[in-house]
Each structure stands twice: as structure tokens, then as C-alpha cells.
Amino acid sequence: MEVVLVTCALIFLDGKVLCAQRSDSMQLPGLWEFPGGKIEKDETPQECLVREIKEELSISIQVICPLKPNDHSYSIGKVIRLMPFVCIWQDGEINLLEHQSVEWVAKENLKSLEWAPADIPIVEDLFENWNIIQKQLVDKNTEL
Ligand SMILES: Nc1nc2c([nH]c(=O)n2[C@@H]2O[C@H](COP(=O)(O)OP(=O)(O)OP(=O)(O)O)[C@@H](O)[C@H]2O)c(=O)[nH]1
């Protein structure tokens, strides 16, 4: 069974998370996801995320910590392992280079978006752990 490793970034700013809507030129058009992409050879997941977010949104991020990955099969014989990471926005203005739109979303609106199927367990996990993640980010900020 082929397992495709895909990273995705849960980028936080001011208590909201950045969600991105896939465009018509992408697979799963119109559905919402966390930006990211496939890990290339000789690349760590963190390096992949920093590269993909620069390529897709032209911003710089800092990767903070991983959350639970989710395996999902869109087609027979192929599994996508979606690997989420909590990140913070570091620098730059968002420029939509691949997605049709992005939104900064508060916890209470997270589940009202139409998510790509592989993201649904990740959204659930994020919803359950939202307050813990926020606290970690505040503590991290105080450290910096
Ligand atoms: N980046 C990302 N991909 C996701 C998510 N959820 C999800 O099902 N996917 C799927 O995972 C795969 C990642 O592909 P991608 O197109 O974003 O990655 P990429 O830029 O490296 O791909 P490419 O080299 O084919 O252009 C796609 O099949 C996409 O539909 C998500 O939250 N983020």
C-alpha cells in the first residue's frame, strides 16, 4: 500500500487558525483544508511545511509542535497520511498563490466549514484541544 506523507499547518494568530479553500485547479475543489503539501525526498516534515507555506501563501511560519496524524484513503491502494503541525505566523503578507480563499477562523466556526474528508478527524482533534494549544502558544510567546 502506497502511503503519501502530507504535512499541513495549523497557523495561529490572535486566537484564530488559518483555513484555506482549495481552488478549481486543485483536487477536491472548493473544500477547506489546512495549507501544506507532500513531503519531498530528503526533507523533514518541518522543512516541508515551511517551504509549502512560502510557496502557497508567501508567508513565513514557525513550526511549534505536531498533532496526531490521520490516515485517509481517497482511492484504492493509496493512503494519505496527513500530518498536522501547530505553527505561528512569523512574517509576510498573505498572497493567494494556489488557494481560492483563506479565512482566520475562531474555534466556534471551525466545524461550519466544508472540510476535505482527510481533515475531519484533525479538525475534531483541534476542536477538543483548542484551549490547551492556545495556552501553549501564550506560554511560548512569553518565553520568546
Ligand atoms: N496540503 C493539504 N493537502 C490535503 C489536505 N487534506 C487533504 O485531503 N489533502 C490532500 O493531500 C494531497 C496533498 O497534495 P497537495 O497538492 O496539497 O500537495 P503538493 O503541493 O505537494 O502536490 P503536487 O506536488 O501534486 O502539486 C492532495 O491529494 C490533497 O487533496 C490538507 O489539509 N492539506
* Residue 6 Cβ < 6 Å to ligand 1: yes
ipTM for the whole complex: 0.92
Instruction: Note the pLDDT tens digit of each residue in 5-63.
Output: 999 999 999 999 999 999 999 999 999 999 999 999 999 999 999 999 999 999 999 99
Q: Are strands 70-75 and 36-38 parallel, antiparallel or unpaired?
A: unpaired
The enclosing domain of 80 has a CATH number of 3.90.79.10
What's the average model confidence in pLDDT over 116-120? 98
Question: Domain tally for the chain?
Answer: 1
Mutating to test ligand 1, I would choose from 5, 6, 48 the residue with most ligand atoms within 8 A of its C-beta, which is 6
Q: How far is the CA of 33 from the centre of ligand 1 (A)?
A: 9
Q: Which of 4, 2, 78, 75 is nearest to 36 (CA)?
A: 4
Report whether pLDDT(144) > 70: no
Cβ burial, residue 25 (10 Å; 0-12/13-18/19+): exposed
The length of the chain in residues reads 144
CB of 79 closer than 6 A to ligand 1? Answer: no
Q: What confidence score (pLDDT) does residue 124 get?
A: 98
pTM: 0.95
Asked if 2 contacts 77 with a C-beta cutoff of 8 angstroms, the reply is: yes
Question: Which grid cell is 15?
Answer: 486566537
- For residue 96, the one-letter residue type is L
Range of the domain at 25: 2-143
What average pLDDT does range 110-115 have in this prediction? 98
- Whole-angstrom Cα distance, residue 2 to residue 32? 24
The fraction of the chain above a pLDDT of 70, given in percent, is 98
What pLDDT does 56 receive?
Answer: 98
- Select from 111, 61, 117 the least CA-distant residue to 86: 61
Residue 107, C-beta contacts closer than 8 angstroms, at least 6 positions apart: 127, 130
Q: Which H or E run contains 132?
A: helix 120-143
Using pLDDT thresholds of 50, 70 and 90, give the confidence band for residue 142: low
